[in-house]
Structure 1
């Protein structure tokens, strides 16, 4: 088993089309060295970058020299990207001749059971999770091995609620549990669909479970969910399928500030700095304006001073609604997803609060004027403030009663102890956000 440094060096050599430790056995496509400036196979990784493991923040990319803004630091050609298009292209090679060859390995035989149309009907998540899980089993025979060897391990996802025990999961705020349950449902749906597709090929249940263990499919699925980068793909079914996995680039972590930007063109995936970096700084992407709740449920971490953090107060507001108010909000497409952040209330929340002050919302001209942008919420402000104060005080009380978890040392399981400490920090951030908003009104 190679250690990470060996795997990293092989990954870099692979991307740069140089011999790596796997090339003697892997069926790699023949490429020219990356010397021609116009070559579509040319890769580039700045010599001013280094991958490091840092306690407390994990694996990331750091600088070993000063970088100015608008510096090109990475380019990875399309050949090395894992996405719907490249996977379909790779699979099509096996489907040109579906007759089973005596030299075919077990995975190739499985691929030949399918048609390209069947693969094309899968979502990107389903197809890539299936493909990565099976390609890992091919070992040195897989073109993708240098990349697959550097994907995150199960231990890297130990702070994902999907891995929490029931008693730890139960400590999460209600809205966080709801979001985490949605993530789990997405995974379960994808796994069941792919598993049933394999079963439809007259493979027995034990064979399918050996080919596609749920734990291994989950690890592939989480790597996609946490490390994918968005790009437009001509073969995608929906905008949700417009993503790719990019080797080396996926070591770049998230910040709530925009520090690098990405570009896709005919030559591949490019990363350019959008700010100045000093020696020893970590390189960051901004995944988007994500709350800590979303970051925890989708990626397995939170940011202590996240400027995009928000509070979801949907449950508290929905519990106060009459049936006519619920029906009105659904009819206007303003039902659920009510949030506030350091900047104030979302417009959806303003509409909800105004609706709660209207016994017969469908007959209120004032409410419709608010929704249509004809008036602001000034006439509803007093009632809004009373409702919001009550809700935020409830959140502060709940959060303060759980902040002790930040200092939890009572659990013999070290992972659970750290998970509880993370949940305590989440409650602390929720309390601070609620307190700050109360002060502003």
Structure 2
């Protein structure tokens, strides 16, 4: 890995606008994986620049269009592809990308989301290009490599990202599918819901880009099957998903898919590990007016936050957002013990209680909750039972529609309903603890039967989530015992 990091730094240093603070270093540590650490006895203070990456070395909607247009002169977009004419890469007249990218129309490319475009482009440049240049007609062109290869080389492997539940759910022709299905059954409701949502996005994006992949397969007689290519796409999808940083993309700022399009991928920044503390360690900044070659989104910088770094060997952290472990597991593949942003989504439990009422009451309750925007999204964090959870539970237990309506409007406080819902709430919370303990026990049984086919961290992540659930619920049970 040291050689790959060295190559990455050399590649980036070709731009005079690249900066990597000489007091920090990327280190591959056994206990925490790759991270960025203070390696010089100095003091890094608020607003000091840690990392600064120019536009031309960021992967995003603009830079990908720029590089595709090098091989397809019909792609011409103002302020995106204007600088192509004198680019030296155009001299590789036998580069297979001329043929491959010729089938991509400007209209097709512009209607893609950033996720779809980057997945398609990275699949071509990272996975398929090496196959294409090994074909007999390209065998003499061993110098045909992607501009982005130094960046690709430091990305996580399929093994490293393998703890993400959507990968368990979507991988094709995998001998471990049976094990993965058992793990999925042990996920809590919030994780399962998140996994199902991302699964739909993955499948929808593949439906958009796989016709292009099919055409490339016909052009170059690809050695990988379509299922194998899908698994590569899945890997790429989560490399992007776990490493993209919010950034307004001019071509996409008014699109309907803002979340799936306004991001950039920035070398070195993806080595910064997550802390659940917000606005302390460091923060991102984009200078849209500072360009470097490609007309892109601007210079992307990481600056020091409120925390002063002055301890040799101290790790540099970046907060990815106020995310629970259910979110972190599904988006990044890791969890944090005692994560302060953890919460339980007990929507499934509330609906089960609702289903036990008579059908007439049930229909009226659902109607009332939906009409007043109190349907679903019932949560509990360490300190509070959410207001919407209290409303739904009070309605189900009391069946007092008029008073619950006043409760919704704030005319009645929850103190009125506490005596009425206390026993049901205690029973519900005890059931949640029992359920989590049962799932922890089932996970431990799987570990014993696993025979090292699946990395232990997959199991440990699920156990951590359930253990933290138990801590949250137990805290509320302790509070309830103090209620009048």
- TM-score bracket, normalised by the shorter chain, equals 0.7 to 0.9
State which of 416, 437, 448 in structure 2 corresponds to 1:379. 416
Name the TM-score, length of structure 2 as normaliser: 0.78
State which of 435, 459, 479 in structure 2 corresponds to 1:398. 435
- State the partner residue of 1:120: 110
1:38-90 superposed Cα distances (whole Å, 9 cap, x missing partner): xxxx1111011111122232211111134333322111111111112221232
Bigger shift: 146-155 or 376-385? 376-385
1:128-158 superposed Cα distances (whole Å, 9 cap, x missing partner): 1111111113355211111111111111112
Taking the aligned partners of 1:149 and 1:347, their CA distance within structure 2 comes to 48
Deviation for aligned residue 1:206:
6.8
Deviation for aligned residue 1:221:
0.3
1:141-178 superposed Cα distances (whole Å, 9 cap, x missing partner): 21111111111111111211234422232232344233
* Cα RMSD (Å): 2.8
Taking the aligned partners of 1:131 and 1:386, their CA distance within structure 2 comes to 57
State which of 34, 45, 51 in structure 2 corresponds to 1:59. 34
- State the partner residue of 2:452: 413
Taking the aligned partners of 1:230 and 1:270, their CA distance within structure 2 comes to 12
Deviation for aligned residue 1:123:
1.3
Taking the aligned partners of 1:202 and 1:67, their CA distance within structure 2 comes to 51
Q: Are 1:294 and 2:327 counterparts?
A: yes
Do the aligned partners of 1:70 and 1:272 also contact (CA within 8 Å) in 2? yes
Taking the aligned partners of 1:242 and 1:248, their CA distance within structure 2 comes to 19
Taking the aligned partners of 1:369 and 1:239, their CA distance within structure 2 comes to 37
Do the aligned partners of 1:262 and 1:270 also contact (CA within 8 Å) in 2? yes
- State the partner residue of 2:161: 157
Taking the aligned partners of 2:105 and 2:223, their CA distance within structure 1 comes to 18
Deviation for aligned residue 1:415:
2.6
Do the aligned partners of 2:244 and 2:265 also contact (CA within 8 Å) in 1? yes
* Unmatched runs of 5 consecutive residues or more in structure 1: 18-32, 35-41
Give the count of matched residue pairs.
412
Q: Are 1:260 and 2:282 counterparts?
A: yes
Which structure has more relative contact order (CA 8 Å, sep 6+)? It is 2
Do the aligned partners of 1:63 and 1:279 also contact (CA within 8 Å) in 2? yes
Do the aligned partners of 2:60 and 2:118 also contact (CA within 8 Å) in 1? yes
Residues 14 and 348 of structure 1: CA distance in aligned 2, closer, same or farther (over 3 Å): farther
Bigger shift: 182-191 or 245-254? 182-191
- State the partner residue of 1:6: 3
Name the TM-score, length of structure 1 as normaliser: 0.85
Deviation for aligned residue 1:409:
4.3
Do the aligned partners of 1:176 and 1:297 also contact (CA within 8 Å) in 2? yes
* Unmatched runs of 5 consecutive residues or more in structure 2: 76-89, 131-143, 169-179, 291-298, 355-361
